[in-house]
Amino acid sequence: MSDVKPNPPMRLRAALDAIPAYKPGKSSASGDQIVYKISSNENPYPPLPGVVEAVADAATRINRYPDAAAVQLSQVLADRLNVTTDELSFATGSSGLLFALHDIACEPGDEVVFAWRSFEMYPIVTALSGADAVKVPLADDGRHDLKAMAAAVTDKTRLVIVCSPNNPTGAVVHDDELREFLAVVPKDVIVVLDEAYLEFVRDPQAPDAMAIYRDFPNVVVLRTFSKAYGLAGLRIGYAVASPEITGALRKAIMPFGVSDLAQHAALASLERMDELNARVDALVAERTRVVDALTQLGVTMPDAQSNFVWLPLGEKTLDFAAFADERGLIVRPFAGDGARCTIAETEANDRLIEVVRDFYTQNGLFG
Ligand SMILES: *Cc1c(COP(=O)(O)O)cnc(C)c1O
């Protein structure tokens, strides 16, 4: 029977070997209790009022391709950001823009500089492009070491990615240090400022990205509707960049990738900024509550400026994730480094405080 020959390996790119295989999200082993998934920095609120209606309306036209130029949305955002529509590019989330930025800038053998640890997607996108990732260790406080990053830029550098607030440590770079950094990076190297969590930032020293973009046209500002806007499932993000760069991006971005559903959901959300801001404020208040409680317990962690907290648990990270899982909290562990925990529903945040208290106590982590 089983003389079926195994298929020979396909002719696939060697670059894939450097990329971890996709792991489907596991379900929690926590019995009957309500399980909170705090592993993906999603927004716990449902879409804003009017958004589901806008999507339903757009759904009646899905026999048509979407508006490839996102005309209406471009106009609204251009007005808000005080840019022209040719300084905007849309894609399937800011992830889509990260791929396109590599496509327009990188050949095999080129270098992409970013901090590490940072967003898990960066090394994957860089590896797929054939370029080499140059990972610059974060400073001890979880912030970018911009001096070391500047020193890592070479003739081969095609992209530098600055993630602020940094995923997963949550700390921001400061406006003055980012300007000093940009002053020494060659003017023809694209510097990506990934602001996926901008709306949650309360540190007055955080960069004014639009002013920086005005002064440094090699800067590309990345923003997304996935986090604060709660539209992660619709895949829409954008870049603010010089027309030279957006023109190149238009050649590389997947045509018609951003659906009309996503464009209209974004438009409907932008019409409800008061409600959006109230939700973001509530999440920031919850973040403050969690950080205060954990700090009082004796936990030390980087300054949280995003919708998550970072627990630098080192070798205890996977144990903590398993412990949290048993108590119905799915966190995002990075083995040997730390665990990222999203600020979510109040009950989830309460449970996070308890789980951290119990784990740190049982493991003698409170000094
Ligand atoms: C979530 C996230 C993104 C956005 O991803 P989308 O593709 O827009 O959903 C980008 N950068 C960072 C650092 C993120 O954490």
Residue 29 has pLDDT above 80, yes or no: no
Q: What pTM value is reported for the model?
A: 0.96
Give the pLDDT confidence of 44-92 residue by residue, as tens digits: 999 999 999 999 999 999 999 999 999 999 999 999 999 999 999 999 9
Assigned token pair, 345: 């529903």
Assigned token pair, 316: 């205890």
Residue 26 has pLDDT above 70, yes or no: no
Q: In this predicted structure, what is the pLDDT of residue 21?
A: 83
Is 95 close to ligand 1, i.e. is its CB under 6 Å away?
yes
Is 226 close to ligand 1, i.e. is its CB under 6 Å away?
yes
Atom of ligand 1 nearest to the CA of 163: 13
Q: In this predicted structure, what is the pLDDT of residue 135?
A: 98
Is 232 close to ligand 1, i.e. is its CB under 6 Å away?
yes
Phi, psi of 173 (to 5 degrees): -85, 160
Report the distance separating Cα 194 and Cα 201, nearest Å: 13
Atom of ligand 1 nearest to the CA of 92: 7
Give the pLDDT confidence of 145-181 residue by residue, as tens digits: 999 999 999 999 999 999 999 999 999 999 999 999 9
Give the pLDDT confidence of 240-253 residue by residue, as tens digits: 999 999 999 999 99
Atom of ligand 1 nearest to the CA of 118: 13
| Neighbouring residues of 85: CB distance < 8 A, sequence distance ≥ 6 | 71, 74, 75, 78
Cβ-in-10-Å burial (0-12, 13-18, 19+) of 176 comes to exposed
Q: In this predicted structure, what is the pLDDT of residue 294?
A: 98
Report the distance separating Cα 311 and Cα 257, nearest Å: 36
Whose Cα sits closest to atom 6 in ligand 1?
Answer: 93
Q: In this predicted structure, what is the pLDDT of residue 5?
A: 84
Residue 1 has pLDDT above 60, yes or no: no
Are residues 305 and 364 in contact, defined by beta-carbon separation less than 8 angstroms? Answer: no
Q: In this predicted structure, what is the pLDDT of residue 25?
A: 62
Q: Separation of 164 CA from ligand 1 center, angstroms?
A: 11
Whose Cα sits closest to atom 1 in ligand 1?
Answer: 196
Is 196 close to ligand 1, i.e. is its CB under 6 Å away?
yes
What H or E segment, with its residue span, contains residue 215? helix 209-215
Give the pLDDT confidence of 271-301 residue by residue, as tens digits: 999 999 999 999 999 999 999 999 999 999 9
Are residues 148 and 160 in contact, defined by beta-carbon separation less than 8 angstroms? Answer: no
Could you tell me how many helices (H) and strands (E) the chain has, helices first? 12, 12
Q: In this predicted structure, what is the pLDDT of residue 253?
A: 97
Q: How confident is the model at residue 358 (pLDDT cuts 50, 70, 90)?
A: very high
With a pLDDT cut of 70, the percent of the chain lying above it is 97
Q: In this predicted structure, what is the pLDDT of residue 94?
A: 96
What does pLDDT average to over the chain? 96
Atom of ligand 1 nearest to the CA of 94: 8
Give the pLDDT confidence of 169-222 residue by residue, as tens digits: 999 999 999 999 999 999 999 999 999 999 999 999 999 999 999 999 999 999
Report the distance separating Cα 96 and Cα 239, nearest Å: 10
Q: In this predicted structure, what is the pLDDT of residue 270?
A: 97
Is 169 close to ligand 1, i.e. is its CB under 6 Å away?
no
Q: In this predicted structure, what is the pLDDT of residue 30?
A: 64
Question: Could you give the count of Cα atoms lying within 13 Å of 114 in the half-sphere of its Cβ?
Answer: 28
By most ligand atoms within 8 Å of CB, the mutation choice from 121, 161, 166, 169 for ligand 1 is 121
Q: In this predicted structure, what is the pLDDT of residue 323?
A: 98
Question: Could you give the count of Cα atoms lying within 13 Å of 6 in the half-sphere of its Cβ?
Answer: 3
Q: In this predicted structure, what is the pLDDT of residue 20?
A: 84
Whose Cα sits closest to atom 12 in ligand 1?
Answer: 196
Tell me how many degrees the CA angle 330-332-337 measures, rounded to the nearest 5. Answer: 140
Pick from 227, 240, 239, 178: nearest CA to 201: 227
Q: How confident is the model at residue 339 (pLDDT cuts 50, 70, 90)?
A: very high
Whose Cα sits closest to atom 4 in ligand 1?
Answer: 94
Q: In this predicted structure, what is the pLDDT of residue 27?
A: 65
For residue 183, give the DSSP letter: H
Q: In this predicted structure, what is the pLDDT of residue 2?
A: 61
